[in-house]
Amino acid sequence: MIEFANVSRRYANGQFGLQDINFRLPTGRMAFLTGHSGAGKSTLLRLIPALDRPTSGKVLIGGYDLNKMGRHQYPKLRRQIGVVFQDHHLLTDRPVFDNVALPLQVSGYLPGDVRRRVDAALDKVGLLGRQRARIEELSGGEQQRVNIARALVNRPRILLADEPTGNLDPDLSRDIFDRFFEFHAVGVTVLIASHDVELLKQYPVPRIALNEGRISAFEEADS
């Protein structure tokens, strides 16, 4: 479960990135985070894996108040959260396999398990057979799919995505969203930030609309 209670994030220049955010996303549910660029979507997502701290208010993940969490507890929290970022955050000096395997190696999986899981994750995003390819050799869309495979490989409890289809064509975008939807179907809590309104309309998923750092609307799923 993800819960925000009166959360604000104010920057050093005095501007608010987020202001008085309140919402609850129960375990296993999926939601979209919508809004223009600069509305605060990325800022909100960064608070969940404790990459940033709120200036005031509380963020609770699975009932744990992140404000009360020490820095030595962050790794455990972050291993339960898969993140797909707007910019790919891929290590360009390593092949696809090594990039996807990283979360498993960090968590202490054995090489055999790592190989099996990496292959399964790459298969899910349609990149099986590209394990040895270098990141530079891939197209923008393929790189984003590597990013998604890396977020899924550890089978996280929570999946966060920030504009995951920004560089992909409509067919591939729908394909990626279908995968997120499948993941949600097996009990993963999914929160996806996207401004692609047309694409979002195709999924019966509630939408949290952000505008200038505030929640402007909470729309139940269209169906």
Partner 1 sequence: MSATATHDARGNSEKARRPLAAWRRHHRQCLRGALARLIRRPLGAWATILVLGVVLSLPALVMTLGHQVERLGAIWMSDAARMDIYLATDVDEAARQTLRDWLDRQATVAEQRVIPPAEGLEALTERLHIDGLETLEANPLPWVIELTLSDARTDTRLALAEGLREQAAVAEFSSGDDWIQRLEQIRAFFDELGWWLLLLLGLTVVFVVGNTLRLELHERRREIALIALIGGTERYMLRPLLYDGTLSGLLGGVVASGLVGMALSVTSGPIERFAASYGAAISPEIDPALILLLMAAGALLGWLSAQAIGRFYIGRLSTP
138: Cβ–Cβ under 8 A, 6 or more apart, which residues? Answer: 96, 130, 146
Q: Build a one-symbol-per-residue string for 145-174: x at contacts with partner 1 by CB under 8 A, - elsewhere.
A: -----x---xxxx-----------------
**Min separation Cβ 14 and partner 1, Å:** 19
CA 191 centroid distance within chain: 7
**Min separation Cβ 56 and partner 1, Å:** 15
Among 21, 33, 48, 50, binds partner 1 (CB under 8 A): 50
What is the distance between the alpha carbons of residues 146 and 169, in angstroms, rounded to a whole number? 16
**Min separation Cβ 96 and partner 1, Å:** 15
Q: Is residue 143 part of the contact set for partner 1 (CB under 8 A)?
A: no
Give the residue from 148, 185, 188, 189 showing the smallest Cα distance to 23: 189
Q: Is residue 184 part of the contact set for partner 1 (CB under 8 A)?
A: no
What string of DSSP letters covers 115-149?
HHHHHHHHHHTT-TT-TT-BGGGS-HHHHHHHHHH
Q: Is residue 83 part of the contact set for partner 1 (CB under 8 A)?
A: yes
> Beta 30-34 vs 158-162: how paired, if at all?
unpaired
Q: Is residue 30 part of the contact set for partner 1 (CB under 8 A)?
A: no
**Min separation Cβ 160 and partner 1, Å:** 11
CA 73 centroid distance within chain: 20
Nearer to partner 1, 68 or 72 (CB): 72
Among 35, 103, 164, 213, binds partner 1 (CB under 8 A): 103
Evaluated on CA atoms 179, 180, 184, 188, the torsion sign reads positive
User: Which residues lie near partner 1 (CB under 8 A)?
Assistant: 49-53, 71-72, 74-80, 83, 89, 91, 102-103, 105-111, 113, 150, 154-157, 186-188
